[in-house]
Amino acid sequence: MILNSDISVPAGSAGPADPSDGRGMAARGLLRSRLSCQAFDPRATLSRAAIEGLIGAAVQAPSAFNLQNWRFVVAHSPNSRSRLKPAAYGQEKITDAAAVVIVVGIEPVSDAFSALMNRDEEDGRLPASERERLDRQIGRSYSDPCAGKAEAIRSASLAAMTLLLAAEADGIAACPMSGFDPAEVARAFALAAGETPVLLVALGRNADPAQVQKQRRPVSAVSSFA
């Protein structure tokens, strides 16, 4: 447990949120209870509204410059999941799950995100001077195609993790899947140039209610302080 007394702030600054309050405890509970479902009940179904609710949570994830450069392609019908299955090397989870979300990262292109910044500028969230600076900075940051591809992967990964936590909060079993052929997924679902399928997130009901989260490495083994 982290205590407020463990965190110091400059005089006059707002104090830190208390991690022992309801929100902090709930967030940590989700992290500790979340697991990657290894077998889905093929009889289970998931409504479109439930999936849209998860995506609504996923788009709250952070992204560089607030570009929100992600897209969610939902393989919901049995036919679409059957179409996805060969690209995922025939894994049964694809067709046993109630739905599979293809989390797509989009390489930042200034024109594609101008409408979003226009809206922020119009409602006063983004001053005109700041807009001009951001336009220049985004152009410089992603002039290298490799940088744009890396940003697409980062943004989609953040969105996918948020989607997984939302599923856990809603009592929906989920499994992130990286075992697929990106080119085949892009072809099967007609992804555009500059769009990369980053992760598949299978959703449904766990066929093994007794499954428990696997052990995690201790903090001391994965951290260092400089």
DSSP annotation of 66 reads G
**Rounded distance, CA 100 to CA 131, Å?**
37
Q: Which residue has the tokens 């959703």?
A: 203
pLDDT tops 80 at residue 19: no
Residues 6+ positions from 141 with CB-CB distance below 8 Å: 64, 108, 147, 151
pTM score, whole prediction: 0.86
Is the dihedral angle over the CA atoms 58, 63, 68, 71 positive or is it negative? negative
CA atoms of 155 and 177, how far apart (whole Å): 17
**Averaged over 82-87, what is the pLDDT?**
98
φ and ψ of 93, to 5 deg: -60, -30
Q: Are 113 and 141 in contact (CB under 8 A)?
A: no
pLDDT tens by residue, 42-84:
999 999 999 999 999 999 999 998 889 999 999 999 999 999 9
pLDDT for 130 beyond 90: no
> CB-based contacts of 162: which residues, under 8 Å, 6+ apart?
57, 58, 60, 61
Given a cut of 60, whether residue 30 has pLDDT beyond it is: yes
| Percent over 70 (pLDDT), the chain | 89
Structure confidence at residue 207 (pLDDT) = 98
Cα angle: 172, vertex 173, 174; to 5 degrees = 115
Checking if the pLDDT of 21 tops 90, the result is no
Pairing of strands 70-75, 173-177: unpaired
Mean pLDDT within 145-171: 96
* Beta carbons within 10 angstroms of residue 7's beta carbon: 12
Q: Which amino acid is at 53?
A: G
Instruction: For domain 39-107+142-208, give the fold.
Output: NADH Oxidase (3.40.109)
